[in-house]
Structure 1
Amino acid sequence: MKNLICLTVVMAAFGFVVADVSGNEILSMDRQRAIIENYMYVTGQRSDLPTLAIDDEDHKHFPGKCGTPAILEFQRYRDQLDDGLLKSYNPMATARPLMDYYYDSPGGRIKLHYNKTGDHACYQSNIDSDGDGVPNYIESLGLIADHCYDEIFGTFGYPTPVVDTACPGGGDDRVDIYLRALTLGYYGLTYNQSEDCAGSDPTYRRAPCWIVIDHDFQHLPAYVGIPLEAAKVTLAHEIFHAAHFAMDATEPIEWFEMTAVWMEEQIYDHINDFYLLDEYFFNLPRRSLQLVNGAHEYASVIWPKYLSYNYGTDIIKDIWLLAADIGPGWHYLQMTDSAIFVASGGEDSLVTAMSEFALWNYFTGPYADLAPNDIGYPEKAELAFIPHDSMDVQREFPLTVTADANWFKPEVNASTYIHLTDLDRLQTQYWECTAWSVDGLDSTCTDSVLVVDDTLLTMWVYTGTISSGVWGISVVGQLVSEPDSLVVLGTAYVPGIISTYYVDLLFGEIDFRKYQSITFIFTATSINPAAYHAGETKNIAYVIYDNSGEIPESWKNRRAAVLTPYPNPAVVSELADAEIKFRFQVPTDSIGFTVDALAGAFITVDLYTVAGEYVALVEGSYLGEDRLGNSRVGVYEAGWDMKNQTGRDVASGVYLAYARLFTDVEREVLLAESHQKVVIIR
């Protein structure tokens, strides 16, 4: 029998109003409230969690990290905010804090402002080992800040911060860092001060700034008692924001934050603070890299990490500088495409990189050791992973999934994973009795053969429009013969226009009969930032149907049976595998599919001597799932190693076997049973 299973995928774009990247987005009242509330929360003017800090899918509070996005959004959209809302909330402009003390770092590049008493007192402010009046903690911060400055502006070669001499509260070329008690979850924030400074860039593209970090980090559970570890990642993050403002203060927030977290990893790779957040990316692979919701923009550090692993660390700087050269606005996607093209010698693009990125993200956490050679992050085993409930997992065929009912449609610059599993159900192996002997009223199977239900899977793809974009489609297979490894069957690219494709034309002929599961990874990529709007998705609908050929009559309506053991007699000296196999014929339905056995047939064989002494119990079950979520359905047999209950080899002779086949491990329904003799010769 050959079952032709066709998968039809339909992808199309919803119509929606996109943001004008020049900053003229039409803001809803809810969006305006969120901007005001978030700004007031991170600047200490409001104690209630803002709307932006609530997960729009599971309503959890986001952990927070950096307050810079809230400040940037308020500054960028302030002129568009409703006057009535502004009067109601009354957000105040934030001036540089006035602190009691300051400390110049040994390198002369940093000025730390701090208090020793009160709500904003620094960590262990009373400990001053050298008696110079500066707490040990502040001196340690100075060394850390110098190291971050030297790495960012020396080793990595980023443009130095814009001097704030003309700004209120400024005065020299040192970076001002203030220690303050920040609100829940925040490590630090960087203020763009360009609009207050005489002679500053009128486009606000290059901006002076000042930084605030938490005074002791003891509100962060991961850093209680070890604030310097938190200080390291925070100073790397915020001082890199100073580099951002020296290049282009008008780039989008997600690019600010994912690259700032990336810099943490470059300078202090051993701390791995982003492990606290990476699940926010892997749990929602269908959400865009452009998503800003208080968590995703930090978790998306995995993207610049991918870029730097593949193309070198300079690619992040190249993207920033290329975008700055174009002028104010959101240009990092286009410049990422250009930088990848140059770094790869013209072989790669944003489209190809995004597709490979989605493939790498499939091999993390517990699935890291399944990755083929040269695929995946160096630390892939330590990363979070895409759980099955974040994939479109399908087990039952035929099947129709409409766009309206599909929860896994990707946003632009995101991916969806369609995981077709339990393909063994369509490609089942089982024992079939081919000869019986009849003795009175009893009948016994005297010959059997391994039968394979020959299945072919094929696929049609329908793609819809992506503005300035392309669909990437990768296919990953789990071989029946090697279930603990995966193979990449290929990646294809189709234009972001309405088109139809046959999978064999994209990937060459794929013999799906060899695979226990197959995963299709669809990535919607666009270099146009205006192609994305939060929550808007590209439709995917598909149909899987059974186009069966002629089914042999002998495969239909087969009854359950216990088959002849093999080998019998068992001559131990001639056996490569010292086991006697008890084989079972599983029942099939009117079209040749196994029925009860699919629920997880359970096998028991009780063995006795001819004198009636109990020897051993053999059991077998196919209940359960493997690591990829595939039900285990296969050849129904149980092996006896010819040992007794104590593990000793049994002697030569005749043994009686009472073999039974049940529908499941509970043994509630007996499908078949048989008394048989087996002979062992040693």
Structure 2
Amino acid sequence: MMIKHMQHIIILFLFIGYFHPIYASNISVEEAANKLIIGDIDIHYSEALRIIAKYGHELPSDIKAELQARGFDFSREIVSSYRPQNLDYYVDEGIFRFHYTLTGVDAVSPLDADNNGIPDYVDLIVTTFANIGVIDFTDMEFVRPPGDGWYTQIDDGGSDHYDVYIFNLETGYYGYVQAEDYAQNNSPITRGDNEFSEDAEEERAMVTFMALRNNYDDFSGVESEIIEVTSAHEFFHAVQYGYDGWEAGWLLEATAVWMEEHHYDNINDCYQFLQEFFNEPYLAINYDVNRGYGAYIYFSYLTDNRVSNDLIRTVFERSREYNSYDVDYSIPTLMAALNDYNLDFETVTHDFFIANGMLSNSDSAGIYQYSESSTFPMDLPTLEQTITASSDTTMYYYNQMLETFSALYYLVDTQDSTWNNLVIDLLTQDSDNMRYYVTSIVEHKNDSTPNTFDVLTAQTQTIDVSSVDSVIFVISAFGYDTINSEFSMRIIKNSSVELASDMELIPISNQYSLNNPYPNPFNAHITIHYTIPMNQPVDIAIYDILGNKIRRFQSEQLGMQSIIWNGKDQYGIPVSSGMYIVNMSTDSFTQARRILLLK
């Protein structure tokens, strides 16, 4: 009974569950296992299970035995849990097979109002998955998850259908998807390749199964809606695993929540994750798995304002190219996907941070609009500080901490009639490899242009505030070798500096710079960031260690720019592994960076 009980809760991805977040890389597989055994979970449960799935075979024998007693299976390359074996009925619908029972603690309700021989509860789940399949595979053209027919004699899945098990889950859990093995792992030639993808060859696709509760009696909400959003969310994990089972947890959860919202936009179950996400804007969008649930809003912003829904599929198509087994390549994956739509990661992510500082559904918000913002559970992200001043003064703010891929929000209260203008000035930055954006947001409510916004991005800016009540300004940071950095700034009330008269985008840096490429080392694509402060041709070339020019890029665009090199020469031929030099040069400037290609 112990094994049976625990196999119900040893899972790889939970629909819901909150734990104090830390970086997964900070704990070893032995620590992750001990945290599960003693119940002291201070990382997201699914992240601990991912660590065990990867490195569980390295555990000492006594810890392995303890996990085996809790339902873990060490017989395959991926450490996982067993499938339930006590469900004696099944029904097939399309690519799906639904397993259930009418007896014992795992029984579903036997009610069968239409007398079709299938319990109404199971009928509801079958119908839900039929609808999900149409959107996922027909409308959005995702590849279906790999089949398990090659090893069903072991787990009795019974066919190449995708298996969904309906039984009594541990209290509090809605459902889960469990990865078991690499796709087609009956041959080293096909290991990790999803047989249903016709135009690509995967290396890390995985076979999974899915579990749903046999009832949701103890959960608040409408049972049919719970089944719908849970099924859409969890099954998308199975789809994701058909591309790359080792993709970063935050990205898997963010896009799975996006998918449930795409399927069932009227339910808005996803709003439960927004409050926590906006309460901690200083955490990176990719901070951890727990934050990933709320980070769905990042993808909602992009698909509502900047790109089609196809971006979500492109992200996972690109994930095939990056092996995130030991290193988190989720940001390079996202960069590459956005680049396919001629979008720059830094630009659209900073725009996302600006949109969060407005949270407006007004058409005047333009590309910063959230159509559903009036129903969000908050009005703004948590403010780092509200700034007031009763007299003309200069206020300094030192040692402000900011994490890469995150933002801080400040509000300056300008209601006092003594305010004429406001100066915001970013003074110091502690990292050459961190780029900062400073944006002010002024909403006009009572003047001649009501319900409109002025958005200005500049390192130093002066704003006329004589007819506005407040100014929100957003500071975001982007760096690829640094997690945290500090900056200082000053706020001046009623400066004699000439007022900024229009909206303009001014780069933070006024010097040429070639920043450290990321990721480095790399195995598929590498992003090269650089800054051009004036209108002058810039040559960026990649050389091998013998000095042979491999690839050349040219640019005359001002500001902070980026290019992605795909590891191919000027003729489109992949180059070999090894050290390469990225060289940026103008008539008056030269800088080089070393990069390492690993295959």
Structure 1 length as normaliser, TM-score? Answer: 0.59
2:454 to 488, 494, 500: 488
Which residue identity is paired with 1:117?
Answer: T
2:150 to 158, 163, 166: 166
**Cα distance change on mapping 1:248 and 1:111 into 2, 3 Å:** same
Task: After superposition, give the CA deviation of every residue in 1:13-37 in whole Å (9 maximum; x if it has no partner).
Answer: xxxxx98xxx9x4526xx8545654
1:221: which partner in 2?
220
Contact 2:281 2:381 in 1 (8 A): no
1:465: which partner in 2?
431
Which residue identity is paired with 1:416?
Answer: L
Tell me the distance in 2 between the aligned counterparts of 1:290 and 1:115. 40
Q: CA deviation at 1:68?
A: 5.1
Contact 1:248 1:324 in 2 (8 A): yes
Tell me the distance in 1 between the aligned counterparts of 2:215 and 2:111. 14
Contact 1:319 1:332 in 2 (8 A): no
Alignment of 1:119-198 (within 5 A): 119-122=105-108, 125-167=109-151, 168-169=154-155, 170-194=157-181, 198=186
Task: After superposition, give the CA deviation of every residue in 1:179-221 in whole Å (9 maximum; x if it has no partner).
Answer: 1322343221111111695336269711111111122122322
1:201 to 191, 197, 200: 191
Which residue identity is paired with 2:329?
Answer: H
Contact 1:400 1:542 in 2 (8 A): yes
Contact 2:397 2:490 in 1 (8 A): yes
Q: CA deviation at 1:313?
A: 0.4
Structure 2 length as normaliser, TM-score? Answer: 0.66
1:395: which partner in 2?
388
1:256 to 252, 256, 259: 252
1:273 to 266, 269, 274: 269
**Which consecutive unaligned segments of at least 5 residues does structure 1 have?**
1-17, 41-45, 54-66, 429-452, 493-500, 550-682
- Does the residue aligned with 2:357 lie in a helix, a strand or coil? coil
1:4: which partner in 2?
none
- Pairing 1:541–2:527 present: no
Tell me the distance in 2 between the aligned counterparts of 1:97 and 1:281. 35
**Cα distance change on mapping 1:383 and 1:328 into 2, 3 Å:** same
Contact 1:68 1:191 in 2 (8 A): no
Contact 2:335 2:345 in 1 (8 A): yes
2:313: which partner in 1?
317
Q: CA deviation at 1:388?
A: 6.8
**Cα distance change on mapping 1:306 and 1:79 into 2, 3 Å:** farther
Which residue identity is paired with 2:91?
Answer: D
Residue identity (%): 20
Tell me the distance in 2 between the aligned counterparts of 1:304 and 1:373. 17
- Pairing 1:72–2:50 present: yes
Which residue identity is paired with 1:457?
Answer: V
**Cα distance change on mapping 1:288 and 1:185 into 2, 3 Å:** farther
Which residue identity is paired with 1:76?
Answer: K
2:335: which partner in 1?
337
2:440 to 475, 493, 498: 475
Contact 1:204 1:249 in 2 (8 A): no
**Which consecutive unaligned segments of at least 5 residues does structure 2 have?**
1-21, 73-80, 193-201, 497-599
Taking only aligned residues, the RMSD between alpha carbons, in angstroms, comes to 3.3
Contact 2:33 2:63 in 1 (8 A): no
Task: After superposition, give the CA deviation of every residue in 1:81-100 in whole Å (9 maximum; x if it has no partner).
Answer: 67776667765412110133
**Cα distance change on mapping 1:349 and 1:117 into 2, 3 Å:** same
Aligned length: 444
Q: CA deviation at 1:518?
A: 1.8
Tell me the distance in 2 between the aligned counterparts of 1:91 and 1:415. 42
Name the larger-Rg structure: 1
**Cα distance change on mapping 1:37 and 1:142 into 2, 3 Å:** farther
Tell me the distance in 2 between the aligned counterparts of 1:26 and 1:116. 45
1:27: which partner in 2?
27
Tell me the distance in 1 between the aligned counterparts of 2:445 and 2:278. 27
Task: After superposition, give the CA deviation of every residue in 1:59-115 in whole Å (9 maximum; x if it has no partner).
Answer: xxxxxxxx75553233124356677766677654121101333322332x1111112
1:383: which partner in 2?
376
**Cα distance change on mapping 1:517 and 1:390 into 2, 3 Å:** closer
Tell me the distance in 1 between the aligned counterparts of 2:494 and 2:128. 66
Contact 1:68 1:189 in 2 (8 A): no
Task: After superposition, give the CA deviation of every residue in 1:397-430 in whole Å (9 maximum; x if it has no partner).
Answer: 6544332xx5xx3322111112122x244x52xx
Tell me the distance in 2 between the aligned counterparts of 1:539 and 1:79. 41
Tell me the distance in 2 between the aligned counterparts of 1:166 and 1:230. 33
Tell me the distance in 1 between the aligned counterparts of 2:422 and 2:367. 30
**Cα distance change on mapping 1:33 and 1:327 into 2, 3 Å:** closer
Contact 1:288 1:413 in 2 (8 A): yes
Which residue identity is paired with 2:52?
Answer: F
2:231: which partner in 1?
235
Which residue identity is paired with 1:356?
Answer: D
Which residue identity is paired with 2:220?
Answer: P
Alignment of 1:496-515 (within 5 A): 501=459, 503-504=460-461, 510-515=463-468
- Pairing 1:289–2:285 present: yes
Contact 1:372 1:486 in 2 (8 A): yes
**Cα distance change on mapping 1:488 and 1:103 into 2, 3 Å:** farther
Tell me the distance in 2 between the aligned counterparts of 1:288 and 1:247. 25
Tell me the distance in 2 between the aligned counterparts of 1:370 and 1:307. 16
Which residue identity is paired with 1:72?
Answer: R
- Pairing 1:411–2:364 present: no
Q: CA deviation at 1:531?
A: 4.8
